[in-house]
Amino acid sequence: MTLTDKEKVRYSRHILLNEVGIKGQEKLKNAKVLVVGAGGLGCPVLQYLAAAGIGTLGIIDFDVVDESNLQRQILFGNSSIGSFKAIVAKERLKELNPTIEIQAYPEKLSEGNALVLFNKYDLIVDGTDNFATRYLINDASVITGKPLVYGSIYRFEGQITVFNYQAGPSYRCLFPTPPGPDTVPNCTQIGVLGVLAGIIGTHMANEVIKIFLEIGDVLSGRLLLINALSNNRSVIDIPRSEEQFNKVIEIKDQFEDQDYELYCNQVSELDDLIEISADELKERISHGHEMQYIDVREIYEEPKIKALNGICIPMGEIPESIHKIERSKTVIVYCHSGIRSRIAIKSLQEKHQFNNLINLKGGVISW
């Protein structure tokens, strides 16, 4: 597709650049980019890609706008609160650039829809906020052969790189497996500097544009780390691991049967999860309530709680230890910080119909 006269005016500052020109701008017009997550990273990425004239933009996000998003998710305003991010973003971007095609998917990216969706686009942008979706996106990008522009933020620090580009590495070449439960602080509890999302998001948009224009050095095989407080930048080389690619290719035909949330030990909010604080539990014990205690940590994990003297059933042994768990009285399930025990309760409730399980909020460290 060639540029219309109006587009030549709109993109004149691009076209003036020798590195872009009419040909380059046409490459952008013919590009199809899917942005997963219209949050802190997704908003600036989408804004600049739309303004730059990427011809087809897809936006997938199942979430709705919350007031606490407005500190960094710059496509939204007060009137967006409660509306689907994908839909609001599309409307806002249409106003910014009516000459491009925008497809909004107000749904969750899943094992079931990822491959079909990715196949409709040339490049994927990962602006999500959890490991399960990040591993899902990586694997689906590897399987469909799409380059993946990756960004991630934590407090005042960000990471940017391009995965699966030409013969470059993938996310799994950097982090082969998800971090264990309890080892990474929960995103909603740690906070993030709003403008950092913009700094990292605009770097991501820059990589997308360079890839389509075929100019400059694409951040493939190199992880760029930026610290907004110190202004320090580091670049770390990521070697490609054929083994990691092969592992993903092996599951290609069973991709829809994978469960990335389970794989990443990630649980969504449980509506029917009952929790008890350490203080409340001590109170109950002092009143002589008789309960069973299950410690789902590994056997070697310390400290043990003498007052509870729980039966140790590590996560991996739960399936064969169902018979050890009482059904006729209250059972307190606990672990180091209260995350693994939540996962255990979710699984026991869903697969074994337990309705007498209570999670020790904050785990052993709160005792």
Partner 1 sequence: MTIRLKYFGVISEITQIEEEVIHMEAHMDVQKLQNLLMDKYAQLNSVSYKVAINESIENENIELKENDLVALLPPFAGG
Of residues 59 and 223, the one with the C-beta less far from partner 1: 223
Minimum CB–partner distance for residue 46 and partner 1 (Å): 13
Of residues 116 and 190, the one with the C-beta less far from partner 1: 190
Taking the C-alpha atoms of residue 183 and residue 204, their distance in angstroms, rounded to an integer, is: 27
Catalytic residue (choose from 43, 173, 264, 335): 335
Taking the C-alpha atoms of residue 14 and residue 17, their distance in angstroms, rounded to an integer, is: 5
Catalytic residue (choose from 173, 187, 264, 312): 187
> Which parts of this chain interact with partner 1 (CB under 8 A)?
37, 39-42, 126-131, 134, 151-155, 157, 159, 173-175, 178-180, 182-185, 187, 190, 192, 197, 223, 225, 227, 230, 232, 234-239, 241, 336
Minimum CB–partner distance for residue 116 and partner 1 (Å): 23
Of residues 193 and 213, the one with the C-beta less far from partner 1: 193
Of residues 64 and 291, the one with the C-beta less far from partner 1: 64
Residue 137 CB burial class (10 angstroms; 0-12, 13-18, ≥19):
buried
Minimum CB–partner distance for residue 129 and partner 1 (Å): 4
Decide if 335 is catalytic: yes
Q: Which of 65, 43, 361 is nearest to 197 (CA)?
A: 43
Taking the C-alpha atoms of residue 85 and residue 38, their distance in angstroms, rounded to an integer, is: 6
Hey, which bits of 98-214 come out as E strands? 101-105, 123-126, 148-154, 157-163
Positive or negative, the CA dihedral 12, 18, 22, 25 is: negative
Minimum CB–partner distance for residue 127 and partner 1 (Å): 5
Minimum CB–partner distance for residue 95 and partner 1 (Å): 24
Of residues 28 and 200, the one with the C-beta less far from partner 1: 200
Hey, which bits of 7-100 come out as E strands? 32-36, 56-60
Measured N-to-C along each axis, helices 194-213 and 21-29 cross at an angle, to the nearest 10 degrees, of: 110
Q: Which of 87, 102, 6, 2 is nearest to 49 (CA)?
A: 102
Decide if 173 is catalytic: no
What the block records as the tokens of 212 is: 């389509």
Residues with catalytic roles = 187, 335
